[in-house]
Structure 1
């Protein structure tokens, strides 16, 4: 192979990908068999198999037990809005955005006390092993799971207060800013880092993905006078959603 030349399996995968994208191989069409790929492209069984693996890893095709490999329906990506803080009258940003989009969204949550692992402790500026309130959320859009979120709040801040449980009590379901204000903690800054990685098995099971699918992860942290008071991981399937930011200019 000369410099710049693609390996044979990538060349074959690229040609099949082009046919999928331009509609020559429409959704639900059976992908050419391994033998057909071998004959059409003049490659070995190994190359044909590796090309099919590439397309499966990219989420373009899926295997059906006892039937073969088929082109997947390509979802039209929808938006997940991320905006600067707005006075909400007691609702979280997700609730605001869903209300604006027609109130199709639903969610469920579960909170429990836990010990901060080293990564969470670093983000919250506490020691590993310190107690935190961990809350896991599942968000749905028109019944379909669209987003997972896990948040951590240091119990040194919220413990034994009316807002210790994010979704219960007098301010249950309110946003972090409103809840913290109720205990005289003034949130004045929020930071988000956006990245992508292969989804964990349990994430993909919840999100309806297949092994190898990529997820977008938003790491969000709220600060009060430079001190982290809440941090969260928001996980969204990359093939079905786009993160859209609308930030004010000051």
Structure 2
């Protein structure tokens, strides 16, 4: 077997230290010169190893602080049964997001963009409606304590929400979120469907969510159904994969 390139071997050594805890989060890595001397390689080889670990999301370079092992925030556990809380009145304003983040209403911020669009083949299929059906498109960026945590783009039939308070961005954030809005419109959700996939973020998503290089996102497509009708399609809910664990349970 040919010997592995030097930069891969150096990255393996540093990665092992990060994973076994000998290089804990926040630890500053040795300088370029120190790594060159320790491994007897050129600066370009060290730069290649560092670039690989940065791409994997294990390290980050701070202005004036050198290269350090990335401090990953503890992942939040998010369970599907959180939707059940919004099938009944709540005593204080909240949404699934504020419950997930364990924040108060005053610690919650929402950036929003509303516009009208028409369903292409994919959205029409998810709604089980004809192609070209007019929809309200809403793009939200969710903040907890001033930090962006989630992007969601959701769609509702214009025939359902047009000229109602739900189509007014000034009414956001709406206590109870989309679940409560559908209940207000007389179509309380009776079923939630989610499908999850993993992918790398777009440049816009990475910038908006202030993500480190090399971190993927979880992209969740959601349908809210009332009776036999699909009332809302969210495509997608975008979450940095290092900030959340999705819990699913099935009663047998």
Deviation at 1:248, TM superposition (A): 6.7
What is the aligned counterpart of 1:56 among 54, 57, 60? 54
Assess if the C-alpha contact under 8 Å between 2:60 and 2:69 holds in 1: yes
Find the aligned partners of 1:193 and 1:181 in 2 and give their Cα distance: 23
Residues 105-144 of structure 1: pairs in structure 2 closer than 5 A:
105-116=107-118, 118=120, 119-127=122-130, 129-144=132-147
Q: TM-score, normalised by structure 1?
A: 0.76
What is the aligned counterpart of 2:157 among 143, 150, 154? 154
Match status 1:238 vs 2:236:
no
After superposition, the C-alpha distances for 1:166-210 in whole angstroms (9 at most, x for unaligned) are 7739x9444444433444435332110122222222222222213
Find the aligned partners of 1:84 and 1:237 in 2 and give their Cα distance: 19
Question: How many residues get paired?
Answer: 245
Assess if the C-alpha contact under 8 Å between 2:224 and 2:230 holds in 1: yes
Q: Tell me the equivalent position of 1:103.
A: 104
Assess if the C-alpha contact under 8 Å between 1:199 and 1:212 holds in 2: no
Q: Tell me the equivalent position of 2:19.
A: 21
Find the aligned partners of 1:68 and 1:136 in 2 and give their Cα distance: 36
Q: Tell me the equivalent position of 2:89.
A: 89
Assess if the C-alpha contact under 8 Å between 2:112 and 2:169 holds in 1: no
Find the aligned partners of 2:22 and 2:168 in 1 and give their Cα distance: 53
Cα 1:117/1:213, change in 2 over 3 Å: farther
Find the aligned partners of 1:52 and 1:27 in 2 and give their Cα distance: 16
Cα 1:142/1:45, change in 2 over 3 Å: same
Assess if the C-alpha contact under 8 Å between 2:82 and 2:96 holds in 1: no
Find the aligned partners of 2:229 and 2:43 in 1 and give their Cα distance: 58
What is the aligned counterpart of 2:202 among 194, 200, 203? 200
Find the aligned partners of 1:89 and 1:167 in 2 and give their Cα distance: 22
SS at match of 2:171: coil
Find the aligned partners of 2:193 and 2:36 in 1 and give their Cα distance: 51
Deviation at 1:135, TM superposition (A): 1.9
Deviation at 1:8, TM superposition (A): 4.9
Find the aligned partners of 1:74 and 1:96 in 2 and give their Cα distance: 21
Q: Tell me the equivalent position of 1:229.
A: 231
Give the aligned CA root-mean-square deviation in angstroms.
Answer: 3.5
Moved more, 78-87 or 149-158: 78-87
Find the aligned partners of 2:147 and 2:186 in 1 and give their Cα distance: 37
Q: Which structure has the highest helix share of the two?
A: 2
Structure 2, unpaired ranges of 5+: none
SS at match of 1:239: helix
Deviation at 1:107, TM superposition (A): 2.8
